[in-house]
Amino acid sequence: MSSLNTEKWNRILVRFLLAFSFWEAVSIPLRMLFFAKFYFDPTLKSMFVPITDVFWLGPVFSDLTFTLAFGFLYALMKESLPQGLVGGFLVGILVSIIGFVSPMLWTLSLTNFAPTVLIWVWVAYYSLFTISTAVIYSVGWKEEE
């Protein structure tokens, strides 16, 4: 594993800006699309706040932190990961399974803190986020040694 030199930092930051800006452009419509059904459900009305009352720094900071951390991890593990578009999809799917699907299966088997459908929609939303971020980080990253 090599150290993070200036060229790697530039690659990380460019891909970070691409992934973050892409996801922020897509995330608000996706949130509305994925969670609109639950927003109008009278039994779940207390879990959701109106869109005008959302403190948007929270979701944006969460997306920023995840995208940047994923970029650092991807840069450090780049040599051992598959290359290109297929590699990005594979890494994104595996990280989604490890980071979202497995913990939710475990949590839902122990507790019933939220409706199961809501949890799986949340998992699908963040899995799309992870897969798109992994694809953006994996495409076109060639190093000249």
* Span 97-139, pLDDT tens digits: 998 888 888 888 888 777 788 888 889 999 999 999 999 888 8
User: What per-residue confidence (pLDDT) applies to 145?
Assistant: 43
DSSP 24: H
For 133, the enclosing helix (H) or strand (E) is helix 116-138
User: What per-residue confidence (pLDDT) applies to 65?
Assistant: 92
User: What per-residue confidence (pLDDT) applies to 3?
Assistant: 61
Cα gap 129→145, rounded to integer Å: 31
User: What per-residue confidence (pLDDT) applies to 39?
Assistant: 77
User: What per-residue confidence (pLDDT) applies to 130?
Assistant: 92
**Residue 81 reports pLDDT greater than 50:** yes
**Residue 1 reports pLDDT greater than 60:** no
**Residue 2 reports pLDDT greater than 60:** no
Reading the block at residue 24, the tokens are 């922020």
Percent of the chain having pLDDT more than 90? 17
Q: Give the best-scoring range by mean pLDDT among 18-27, 28-37, 78-87.
A: 18-27
Other CB atoms within a 10 A radius of the CB of residue 62 amount to: 12
**Residue 95 reports pLDDT greater than 60:** yes
User: What per-residue confidence (pLDDT) applies to 132?
Assistant: 92
